Chains A and B, each alone.
Chain A
Amino acid sequence: MIPRPITITGGRLVLAEGAPVAAAIRLVGGRIAALGPIVPEPGDTVVDARGQLIAPGLVDLGVFAVDKPAFHFGGITRAALMPDQGPPLDHPARVRFAALSGKPDMWIHPLAAATRGLNGVELAELALMRDAGARAVATGRRWIDDSGVMARLLSYCAMLGLVVVTHAEDAGMAGQAVATAGEMATRLGLPSAPAEAEALAVGRDIALAEMTGAHVHFRQVTTARALDLVRAAKRRGLRVTAGVTPAHFMLSDLELANFRTFSRMSPPLRQDADRRAVVDAIADGTIDVIASGHDPRGPEDKRLPFADAEPGMAGAETLLPLTLTLVRDGRIDLARAFDLVAGAPARLLGVEAGVLRVGAEADIALIDPERPWVVSSDKMAASAGNTPFDRRPVEGRVTALFKGGTRID
């Protein structure tokens, strides 16, 4: 059955640039057919946005679980699934299965495991996985510490035209660390690694990107030094991009007090100077992407001594409101906020989405950017409530979501 065309009126369109524009948008056959000062055509389903934002559905670059209720709550219509699954996405059949796992109302873009079993040693069948639906390649939660393997991976991916999403923590420096070296880790007696472990990894991978011509995307860059390296690489015209999750621009390692395992992240939370450097890097364009890193973890993974707990947070629901804090603080404008959470990730994945443009996929979120709500760990849509933002009041909520021109209930 072909759904009836939908025209959303009375809203403010979030376009790629400039302030939101009071206009309407018409969705036909799963695509955006028209936008601007248009009126509904006869037979259209008309949705009144009542002054809310009409924005592209979020494209979440790097999640660890397919968790549809959380994604829909957060306005996420596409998510790039990290290969760290059990078993890892290192085989074309698994990639194909993962690519279909959210349809029709949520599109999952699998990221192929760079190496078999994510062991960092043998390259996986990347071309076969690409043709099975992998939109990019990822090293998983870990860095590939063998530079020879990484060089071969990057040159191969450059040939295949696949972006390589990498995790930047020098393995030798990081060791078994669960915190960033500093007063907090010292007081708590937690195994820690210097923040420089990130810059070392970023430095190497930038050098290899330059050598091979590959596009390297650092899924999370969280320290001032590493951000400086990314900034310089971009200035030299290298194909290097960077992402971050809200935890690293909202929180510092002070959150580790009382050994709160919901604040155990990978890479670990940094000291406040680095947190501020992340905010600056978002503002100046060094950071291209904000992703949720959605990784719901139940008590069996989190109700443990800090170092024994698994890292990660359930972040899909808070991605949008926490990104909007940067708009409220005047660090970025609304258009840029949506480029960070939708436009840029869509470009990286090579999908026609993440932006309101005629011809693009009709993934639309209606958003009340001022609607206040309180994050509550025990009332999450996610499959687990491991959020470090528990009890934090936030603003901005998705009130309706359309995937491919069809409203999601």
Chain B
Amino acid sequence: MQPSIPTSPQIAPTLREYPAGGLAFPHRDLTGIGQLARHEILYLLDEAEQWVELNRQSQKRAGLLSGLTIINAFFENSTRTLLSFEIAGKRLGADVVNMHAATSSVKKGETLIDTAMTLNAMRADAIVIRHASSGAVRLIAGKVDCPVLNAGDGQHEHPTQALLDALTIRHALNLSRGSDLNGLNVTICGDILHSRVARSNILALTALGANVRVCAPPALMPAEIEAMGVQVFHDFDAALKGANIIMMLRLQQERMQGQFIPSPREYRHLYGLTLERLARAEPDALVMHPGPMNRGIEIDSQVADHPTRSLITHQVERGVAIRMACLDVLTRRARALPGWDALTGGAA
């Protein structure tokens, strides 16, 4: 059974709990979940609800961002995130341009800052950036005049992924607008060390009140991650006990061989999510994966394709809605929406 989506008109919006106008989201950029307060996360989730609805209609076009130019500057390969941002921008009516590092002057030695200045001079209205170095997006944000969205920077953050995951969970549990994830047990398993998805999710889920557990072999667990408010597990079965949500991360095989774990099949032996293992979690526990998956390694096909337990395609769907919400909210100041005045110094 597919969980219903609580976005129908009979559910009244509870936006009154948010500060008025631009005060609801006093940031020019979205560089990370770490910059957001709890109510700002909820605001973006609530804003995304309308786009989930729109995206399910045959006519998917809204003209909100008509005339605006959005540049997707991807310095690192990506398929789904790039596509998701591109679709999001186009459905809002913006002109979307994609810049791939592989085909750009970055290959010719141009520095990141010079590339950023170039994009800025082309008067983009928003720039979406993915880069292999932690902090690169924030660096660019400091040099350009338009909103910057982080589509993943190194091992630091991937905020839209965490937002779409939270929205997916909320929908799967039939939680209404404004709801947080208080008391939910979420287990994140996999290469936590190299994962920006894990970091953003830890920040978002703990801010929303969930109990977050992280599970990985010691070599793939970052030092002192307990300080981020999570429980650390090395034993997957123990981490699954009582879990309501299980987020599997991709085994980044390109980094692995012989260095962090002995082999993929040994990894599967200890950390692969099989149907048998899934049974050790709560009876109705749900499974998520940010993709791309290594089927048969961190997740078995029977789990990934499970009709009621897997939320993986739901995540992709919510991804477009979340990105639409982020593009909408971040361009409101440029579009001079009433109540969305320019930010005065300090806020970022």
Contacts and interface: CB of A to CB of B under 8 A. Distances in A.
A192 B34 CA distance: 20
A46 interface: no
A309 to B, nearest CB: 9
Contact of B227 (A186, A192, A299): A186
Contact of A182 (B136, B138, B139, B223): B223
Interface in A289-322: 299-300, 303-308
Given A259-B139, A303-B139, 18 more contacts: A181-B222, A181-B224, A186-B223, A186-B224, A186-B227, A186-B228, A187-B34, A188-B134, A188-B135, A189-B196, A190-B155, A190-B156, A192-B223, A259-B135, A300-B111, A305-B135, A306-B133, A307-B154
Interface string B301-339: 000000000000000000000000000000000000000
Contacts of B225: 183, 186
A187 to B, nearest CB: 7
Given A259-B138, A307-B133, A189 B155 contact: yes
A183 B224 contact: yes
A258 B223 contact: no
A194 interface: yes
B112 A305 contact: yes
Contact of B224 (A182, A305, A306, A308): A182
Interface of B: 34, 111-113, 131, 133-136, 138-139, 153-157, 196, 199, 222-225, 227-228
A305 B139 contact: yes
Contact of B139 (A188, A192, A194, A304): A304
A185 interface: yes
A189 B34 CA distance: 12
A192 B156 CA distance: 13
Interface in A157-216: 181-183, 185-192, 194
Interface of A: 181-183, 185-192, 194, 258-259, 299-300, 303-308
A66 B139 CA distance: 30
6 contacts: A186-B222, A186-B225, A190-B154, A191-B155, A258-B135, A305-B112
Query: Which A-B residue pairs are the 3 nearest by beta carbons?
Result: A259-B135, A305-B133, A189-B155
Nearest to A306: B135
Given A259-B139, A304-B111, A189 B134 contact: yes
A259 B134 contact: yes
A185 B135 CA distance: 12
A257 to B, nearest CB: 10
A409 B89 CA distance: 62
Nearest to A184: B224
A305 B227 contact: no
B205 to A, nearest CB: 15
- Which residue, A181, A190, A259, A303, has most C-beta atoms of chain B within 10 A? A259
Contact of B154 (A187, A189, A304): A189
Nearest to A185: B223
Contacts of A299: 113
Contacts of A307: 133-135, 154
Contacts of B112: 304-305
Contacts of B113: 299, 303-304
A305 B115 CA distance: 13
Contacts of B155: 189-191
A191 B196 CA distance: 12
Contacts of A303: 111, 113, 139
A181 B223 contact: yes
B341 to A, nearest CB: 26
B195 to A, nearest CB: 9
- Which residue, B138, B223, B224, B225, has most C-beta atoms of chain A within 10 A? B223
A187 B222 CA distance: 9
A189 B156 contact: yes
Contacts of A185: 222-223
A306 B133 CA distance: 8
A305 B154 contact: yes
Contact of A305 (B34, B131, B199, B223): B131
A182 B136 CA distance: 21
A304 B222 CA distance: 24
Nearest to B194: A189
Contacts of A304: 111-113, 133, 139
Contact of B134 (A181, A183, A190): A190
Nearest to B142: A258
Given A259-B138, A305-B139, A307-B134, A188 B227 contact: no
Contacts of B224: 181-183, 186
Contacts of B196: 189
Given A186-B224, A186-B227, A189-B154, A305 B134 contact: yes
Nearest to B224: A183
Nearest to B75: A305
Nearest to B200: A189
B75 to A, nearest CB: 10
A259 B150 CA distance: 15
A183 B156 CA distance: 13
Contacts of A192: 222-223
A304 B133 CA distance: 9
Contact of A308 (B133, B157, B199, B228): B133
Contacts of A258: 135, 138
Contacts of A182: 223-224
B199 A189 contact: yes
A258 to B, nearest CB: 7
Contacts of B157: 189
A228 to B, nearest CB: 21
A185 B224 CA distance: 9
- Which residue, A187, A189, A306, has most C-beta atoms of chain B within 10 A? A189
A335 B162 CA distance: 57
A185 B221 CA distance: 12
A306 B111 CA distance: 14
Nearest to B136: A305
B120 to A, nearest CB: 15
Nearest to A299: B113
